[in-house]
Structure 1
Amino acid sequence: MDERNVAGTMRPSCDSCGAVVFFDPKLAAVVVVSHEEKILMVKRDIEPMMGRWSFPSGYVDRGEVVEEAAVREVREETNVEVELDRLLGVYSSRGAPVVLVAFAASVQGGVAEAGDETRAVGWFPADELPPLPFPHDDAIMRDWRGDTG
């Protein structure tokens, strides 16, 4: 392997055929689930941010529809069935390996309980959420509230 400049970025390339390697970002779905004026949160039992409260979220599998991944992650982490209400936004940062797609959702069924990757689940008033652990969480909540400022 060698490196070559492709549009201003050094990228690995094959010495013999010249094929360029592009490292694609990983896609994750984040879901703000609301019910009776409260937000569903999970206490993470995996890294990163193990032990912290966050929105249900997880990686989209190759070939999986993003919306289906969002619903699946909520079910796996909380035992709650949801319907996606709207797209909140797409969030990324320069140099970060993950692109987030966030949705607002409403409860359709199930009883909230911790899944394999969560220590606990809880319902919190939207204005009394525990400290949010990830860089884009505040922006996601602003978009959920519809704040424009």
Structure 2
Amino acid sequence: MSLSFDDSIRFCPHCGRPIQRRHVAGRLRPHCPDCQVTFFADPKLAVAVLIVQQGKVVLQRRTIDPGLGRWTFPSGFVERGERVEDAALREVREEVGLEVKLTRLLGLYSTPGHPVVLAVYLAEPIGGRLAAGDETDDVALFAADELPELAFEHDEEIIRAWLSETGQPP
């Protein structure tokens, strides 16, 4: 069982009093009746990078859950205080061994009830060489019509967005 942010707060971090739940802005939220502070759960930002090399997409096969054994883009969480673009460059370097130039933001992806917002960038390689990182056991190039089983719900949606921009049929 996983706790949501709202369920995990039991005591006020300001005064130590037990937290109550109160309807604020249309939702039941943690609220301290003594401090009159309402706690709002912020989303967690992650990045993914769709790298196009020789007309094919760079994908990595994951060695960890979620998505164990399936393929996805280089991706990961943005660290507090880190620029989103720098997180994207770092994840590519760590996970597939490439240095890339981010060409543009492809889109933002989220799922209702899920705390992660995914910022997806398009990129082109400018250095390094393909090599599996710590969380992957293989890295490969795939044509859009020969994709393996993808790891995450948004992966196919991201591919479709890229293909529609290039004029290729999804």
Q: Any idea what SS the aligned residue of 1:39 has?
A: strand
Which of 44, 66, 75 is the equivalent residue of 2:62? 44
Pairwise CA distance, 1:15: 2.8
Alignment of 1:91 with 2:109, yes or no, is yes
Taking structure 2 as the reference length, the TM-score comes to 0.83
List aligned pairs for 1:66-105, cutoff 5 A.
Answer: 66-105=84-123
Pairwise CA distance, 1:139: 1.6
Mapped partners of 1:22, 1:47: distance in 2: 28
Residues matched between the structures, number: 149
Task: Tell me the equivalent position of 1:114.
Answer: 132
Pairwise CA distance, 1:133: 2.1
Which of 10, 15, 20 is the equivalent residue of 1:2? 20
Provide runs of 4+ in structure 1 moved above 2 Å. Answer: 146-149
Which of 157, 160, 165 is the equivalent residue of 1:139? 157
* Structure showing greater relative contact order (alpha-carbon pairs closer than 8 Å, 6 or more residues apart): 1
AA aligned to 1:138 is E
Q: Any idea what SS the aligned residue of 2:93 has?
A: helix
Structure 2: 5+ residue stretches without partners: 1-18
Q: Percent identity over the alignment?
A: 51
Mapped partners of 1:133, 1:52: distance in 2: 5
Mapped partners of 1:22, 1:70: distance in 2: 27
Q: Which has the larger radius of gyration?
A: 2
Q: Is the 8 A contact 2:96 2:131 kept in 1?
A: yes
Pairwise CA distance, 1:97: 1.1
AA aligned to 1:114 is A
Q: Any idea what SS the aligned residue of 1:84 has?
A: strand
Pairwise CA distance, 1:145: 1.6
Which of 144, 147, 155 is the equivalent residue of 1:126? 144
Task: Let me know the Cα RMSD of the aligned residues.
Answer: 1.5
